[in-house]
Structure 1
Amino acid sequence: MDGIAGIDLVARAQAVAPLVAREADEIERTRRLTPVVVGALIENGLYRALLPRSLDGSEAPPEIFMQMLEEIAKVDASTAWCLGQCSVCAMIAAALDHDTAREIFNTAPGILAWGAVAHEARAVEGGYRVTGRWDFASGARQASWLGAHVRIVDADGGPRKNADGSPELRTIMFPLASAVLHDVWQAIGLAGTGTDSYEVRDLFIPERFAVFRDVPEALRESGPLYRLPTGSTFSLGFAAVSLGIARATLDAAIALARAKHQSLAASAMRDNGAVQGLIGRTEGDLRAARAYLYATAHAMWRDLSATGMFSPAHRSAVRLAATWTIQQSAKVVDTAYHMAGATAVFRSNPFERRFRDMHAITQQIQARDTHFEDVGRIILAGNVEREAR
């Protein structure tokens, strides 16, 4: 994608943002993205950010994808979360034959969603049969197709193994109408994502709808984007969502401090030295987190574009930057929330929802402290390449 096209994708997100902001209360109330928001995201091509150009997608580099999500997250985290989830799911198109990919992504609305890894698919003539239920399917309520990551077993029930002895995993895809959705998403934050569960029973999956994910040898697209594992792309995207939430929350605290005169205080908040210092330090923290995340993404993308290889050092660097950025964003949100005092607890003000959304993100796998342990173990073993730091 050239620079002009990439900038256009971010500009389109900025153009859509006021509409999303107006719909945010309804999204929260109904626990679903509203039809008007979904329509605007589709019309502006935002769901197609990571779809191959051969399918009329943008095939955007990670930094553009991240900026797009930041702009939407500033006005509604649930919308940004679903957009990020479904955009990354669309990367599976690079492993599909073009007719199959067009059937999924070029038939309206052309949105794929999936949940966590679970269950087995049994090999049968011409494909697979599967029964199972999957959780955490953000974006499923807008999708036309669902996916599931499954372990493959042969007709006799024996597990298939890869050459290294690990279980063979595939991503299967099927129309939304083939599944039953279960309304289970009653959550503290990201309420509007509709991150529900879905279930199929004895469903036949033709071979062409069951592909290897994140296996370079299985790719049909040559672009460097599809050498980037979806897990790492999710991490970058969700860290960008966190930055958008943190930016909006801190901006709201700054606006409040400019206007508010605290009870019993001799001066306005904006004239309070402690408040001034806190805002300055917190602004620095947020700018540092964003710079670190984008510098890591930029270095990784530069190397990946040049070599076509996503190395273990890249994986470690992305994991560290994304985890730290999410946790740092949460600290910024907490600071802004506490700075706002009693004002922050009212749903009519721009703090309470963002506080809940941010802390829902910190509970996700991308923000786990164990990632720091993994990276620390690699560093202590001397296996981190300097270029990835």
Structure 2
Amino acid sequence: MSASEIGAAEVLAAVRDIVPTLRDNGRKTEDQRWIVADNIELLEKAGVFRVAVPKKFGGLDLPVADQAEIISEISRGCGSTGWVSMVWISTAWIASLYPDKAQEEIFAEGSVRISGGFTPGGTLKPVDGGYILNGTWRFNTGVPGAQWNVHAALVENESGEHEELFAIVPTSDIEIADDWDVFGASGTGSATSTAKDVFVPAHRIVGVDVYDASTRDRWNADLKGRNYNLTSYILATCAPVYLGLAKGALELFLERTPGKAITYTNWTDQAEHPYTQVQVAHAANKIAACEALQNVWLEAMQRPTDAGEKMTTEEKVAVRGQVGYVVQATKEAVETLFNISSASAILRGAPFQRSFRDIAALSLHGLLTPVGSLEAHGRVLLGLEPGTDYI
């Protein structure tokens, strides 16, 4: 089946088939601090890196709900692979905000992997035909295997004020450090990238106004259907990683529990213990509730873009608050299961402990940490301003 003939159902089915392989590769991915080549090849074959690419370039241009389901399924197999896939997919959508000429270069192969450093860690100096980029960006997820990378940087305008711009360059133009060594999500290769006197042509530079898809049409796309609010879109592609991790952890717990005795007690099968049953039900229902909540914000995003309308402040801040709640609740669900696991769950050979550490690490992400998200949502519910521009 050619790339033009596949759709969301085919990509999802292909990803489900490789979940066991992603899970089996988890230890090696963690040990080498980067997802194994086999995972990338399988996802490429499944069509994953086409899902956010515009159709005119051979992509699938799937709606965000389909993207979310695919990302969740990848994460069910491997949290690090899911997080990297999310970055590559969502940044491909971001690349569709760039001018036509840039898109023709970026999407030349139809399938593409793009990473990005979105904290302004560099500077841009205007020169004839473009800019010179210099800077360093930490926590740059997926950059070791990306073909392109977005860099947020500051340029001084004529009035002396600094403007934030976003340059996209081939990863062959930048340096990638070997400095990613962490306790969770350790296979994401979120290394430091550095640009030294890199020339960026003007057509591969955009400003904040272009990045805010709620204030203008995006390039090379119909007004209706894919013109999502930027922050809501990013949040809606991040959340499925937490859901997938939690669902995978529940599966792994249920696989290893029946027939396992509770040490130093008379219980020969932990599955028969009422406390185990109640806690498992708590965890399962938290995950199910989070999945239902995801459907709420996905509908809230798709409805206005289908109608060619903008999301309201209340709708946007609700997405952020709801995603923050899901980050918290899925983490709690995995912790609940971990707390009733036997001591053997801490063995590095057991995939369950990796899910526990991955979701704990990813819950600290600045945009996704529950406190800030819930605060913004609560402020608006109380009739106040959100207190943040990131909605």
TM-score, length basis structure 2 = 0.89
Counterpart in the other structure of 2:246: 246
CA deviation map 1:66-125 (0-9, x unaligned):
111111111100000000011111113322333421322224873211113213312222
Matched, 1:183 2:178: yes
2:218 aligned with 1:219: yes
Structure 1 letter corresponding to 2:264? L
Seen in structure 2, the aligned counterparts of structure 1 residues 303 and 157 have a Cα distance that, compared at 3 Å, is closer
Aligned length: 374
Counterpart in the other structure of 1:77: 79
Distance 1:82 1:101, change over 3 A: same
Match of 2:3 in 1: none
Which blocks of at least 5 consecutive residues in structure 1 are unaligned? 161-167, 385-389
Offset of residue 382 of structure 1: 6.9
State whether structure 2 residue 32 is matched by structure 1 residue 33: no
Change beyond 3 A, Cα 1:310–1:169: farther
* Partner SS state of residue 217, structure 1: coil
Q: Are residue 370 (structure 1) and residue 365 (structure 2) matched?
A: no
Could you tell me how far apart the structure 1 residues matched to 2:283 and 2:94 are?
38
Indicate the percent of aligned positions where both proteins have the same amino acid. 22
CA, structure 1 residues 224+326, in 2 after alignment: closer, same or farther (shift >3 Å)?
farther
Q: How does 1:1-389 map to 2 (within 5 A)?
A: 5-107=7-109, 110-118=112-120, 119-154=122-157, 158-159=160-161, 168-212=163-207, 213-215=211-213, 216-217=215-216, 219-220=218-219, 221-224=221-224, 226-267=226-267, 268-365=269-366, 366-381=368-383
> Residue type matched to 2:244 in 1?
G
Deviating 4+ runs (over 6 angstroms): none
CA contact (8 A) 1:143 1:176 kept: yes
Query: What is the TM-score when the length of structure 1 is the normalising length?
Result: 0.90
d(CA) in 1 for partners of 2:225 and 2:187?
29
Deviation larger for 74-83 or 373-382: 373-382
Measure, in 2, the Cα distance between the counterparts of 1:73 and 1:190: 11
Shift of 1:179: 0.7
Instruction: State the shift of 1:136 in Å.
Output: 1.5
Q: Distance in 2 between matches of 1:175 and 1:383?
A: 39
More displaced 10-residue stretch of structure 1: 221-230 or 254-263: 221-230
Contact (CA 8 Å) 2:58, 2:110: kept in 1 or not? no
Cα pair 2:262 2:342 within 8 Å, conserved? no
Q: Which runs of 5+ in 2 are unaligned?
A: 1-5, 387-391
SS in 2 for 1:121: strand
Confirm or deny: 8 A CA contact 2:99 2:204 kept in the other structure: no
Residue 193 (structure 1) shift: 0.6
Shift of 1:184: 1.5
Amino acid at match of 1:175: P
Aligned to 1:165: none
Rounded to whole Å, the distance in 1 between the matches of 2:233 and 2:243 is 15
Query: CA offset at residue 223 of structure 1?
Result: 4.9
Partners of 1:230 and 1:45 in 2: CA distance: 23
Amino acid at match of 2:137: W
SS of the residue 2:166 aligns to: strand
**Partner Cα distance (1:277, 1:170) in 2:** 51
Amino acid at match of 1:306: A
